[in-house]
Amino acid sequence: MGPFCGLALNVLLILIRSPSPTRSAEPESNFVELRCGTRQFPNNVTRAVIYFTANMETISNKVQSNRFGISSTGSGSDKTYGLAQCYNYLSQVECDLCFSKLRTVGPLCYPNIGGRVYLDGCFLRVDDYAFFKEALGPTDHAICGNTTRYGSAFVVSVGKAVAAAVSQAEVNDGYGEGRESSSAYAMASCLRTLDAGGCRECLSNASASARWCLPWSEGRVDNTGCFLRYSYTNFLSSSSKGSRTLKILAIACSVAIVGLGSAVGVLLWKHNSIIQKRTKGMNKVSMKMASALSKSSLNFKYSTLVKATSSFDAANKLGEGGFGTVYKGVLADGREVAVKRLFMNNRHRVMDFFNEINIISSVEHKNLVRLLGCSLGLDSLLVYEYLPNMSLDRFIFDDQKGKELDWEKRFKIIVGTARGLSYLHENPKARIIHRDIKASNVLLDSKLLAKIADFGLARSFSEDKSHISTAVVGTLGYMAPEYVAHGQLTEKADVYSFGVLLLEIISGKQNCKSITSLCSESLLTLAWKHFQSGTVEDLIDPNIYGGHDMKPQILRTVHIAFLCTQESPSLRPSMSRALMMLMRTTEEPLPTPTDPPFTDEDTMELREVEGDSHHLLYENESSFVATLSHSTFYPR
């Protein structure tokens, strides 16, 4: 890892270790809508990305001082214009966080020209013409959220609140708020570039459009030149404006991403005066970071990775998860790399990015994927060694590719994974717990050597601690019961996940990992029934039998899997002990496992995590846009 990335992380961690108030969420940056243009850039997308980067850097400097900014970049047919604006009820810190999310969503429209991003607290538009004076457009419409319906009294209250907000906006520089009977709240805001007549016209149209959402409890109108929202919930007040945690993260983010795009190093030097003003007492740290970056050969330029991945072409995509997408890239010197593209859309993603850099750069083992560098630019990028066989799940859960892995190869993968986990748990500097061991996070090189990947959720703690209490994150079906129930994290949580993984490798079946899945019973439940009835052979994937009898070793591995998944963590073996049991001859007797836990997933409640609360955070692995939104909105 480059010195720049390490220094950025150290600054962030030092600040965050200090006690500070917590916050339940960032409602101002909830994703509402992404609306892309219909025309495509006449020239290559790489140039468009560079122009977008330049626009965002200019607007960023303005937003951080005025909560509003416009910009234009390029010339001729390549010229683009940008505008970003936060609503007045946000504090400056909240506006900075909201804008940091805007700039990660905008590029999703490429290669189309321009687009609009609507969040609950801010707005971004990029286009190829000067749109700043436009009040209305053909795509303007209402977006209704939360299908809860209220009675006529609520409808009347909304009408009064909206009227009050619009009236106030017409005499208050384009911004107004309305409250009625503590049950209806409204906000109206015009683009600062509109004149009074344009603002009045836009809000009049928005008021009429908002009625289509009634009597639903939420309604938004995202017009070309104005924004209007009503809600049953008071979204106009924030429980923690100015909280120290948010300030710290805003400072850390601005330090980390001030060098946006391919000109990151140059901009850090060029805008040193801006950095000093923005970060106050942290100017010396910023200079050290800039100096480290200029000398580092491991800190990749954003433009280098854009070129290596052909502008993150879908044809180069290797995989996608809840926290980002991985692309194959080829550097100028011919080296093949895997580029993990993370979208820094909230504080959890920021922490995951820095955490992964810190964890993976502190360890080195043949069964751990190797980090080659990082890039802090338009997106946050991690660069890893490229492993041609990709992840284990692509083999064992595929009827055809599963035939490529007989038992000898699968056992080699099992042993490699166990060795990697043993190294993490017994790391002399600090014990590291992965927290998300599953088949998709075990990668395979050209010789099918297993390498553990994805350390965004990993945690480390010193030997003098028996456990740490932390927020519960990971993937359902692989998490240990004591971790889900109490948030108590030890290395035995990884042991439990490893036991589930063993059963998947042996059976070729995937364990239920979603409460919305149609699985009648978990793999652990099914396997335990076979174990008790002496019919484990019925569980074994037919693809894994080789030319000689591996049955005793397979049955022994199933036995070890149940030892790893016992309900009590104290009864589970350590990873080094599990590895030893795997490597010993079949003559060594194994203890009898106790019953594994049987969790009724249908009763598990999914709520967003914050701070050290012990709620369950479900990892959505469907699409990026889905992960941005905390609520679902329906256009009408």
Q: Which amino acid is at 84?
A: A
Do the Cβ atoms of 91 and 238 come closer than 8 Å? yes
**Closest listed residue to residue 2, CA positions, set 279, 298, 239, 230:** 298
| Count of Cβ atoms closer than 10 Å to residue 563 Cβ | 21
* C-alpha to C-alpha distance for 316 and 308, rounded to whole angstroms: 10
- Cα of first residue to Cα of last residue in the chain, in angstroms, is 48
Q: Is 186 exposed, middle or buried (0-12, 13-18, 19+ CB in 10 A)?
A: buried
Instruction: Provide the 10 A C-beta neighbour count for residue 393.
Output: 16
- 558 near 531, Cβ under 8 Å? yes
Residues 6 or more apart whose CB falls under 8 angstroms from that of 226 comprise 135, 174, 188, 189, 190, 191, 194, 199, 202, 203, 206
Alpha-helical (H) ranges within 81-142 are: 92-105
Token digits of residue 556: 């022994």
What whole-number distance in Å separates Cα of residue 335 and Cα of residue 193? 48
Sign of CA dihedral 434, 439, 441, 443: positive
Q: Is 340 annotated as a binding residue?
A: yes
Strands (E), 364-454: 371-376, 380-385, 431-433, 442-444, 450-452
List, in order, residues 6 or more apart from 27 with CB less than 8 Å away: 120, 121, 235, 630
Q: How far is CA 241 from CA 28, 235, 244, 334, in A?
A: 11, 13, 9, 49
Write down the residue that tokens 């100015």 correspond to.
Answer: 242
Whether 71 and 126 have beta carbons less than 8 Å apart is answered as no
Tokens coding 625:
């846009």
Rounded to whole angstroms, the Cα distance separating 561 from 528 reads 10
Active site residues: 436
Q: d(Cα 162, Cα 181) in Å, to the nearest integer?
A: 13
Those residues whose C-beta lies under 8 Å from the C-beta of residue 529, and which sit 6 or more positions away, are none
Residue that the structure tokens 């019925």 belong to: 538
Tokens of 302: 């954003």
Strands 488-489 and 633-635: unpaired
Give the annotated binding-site residues for ATP.
Answer: 340
Give the annotated binding-site residues.
Answer: 340
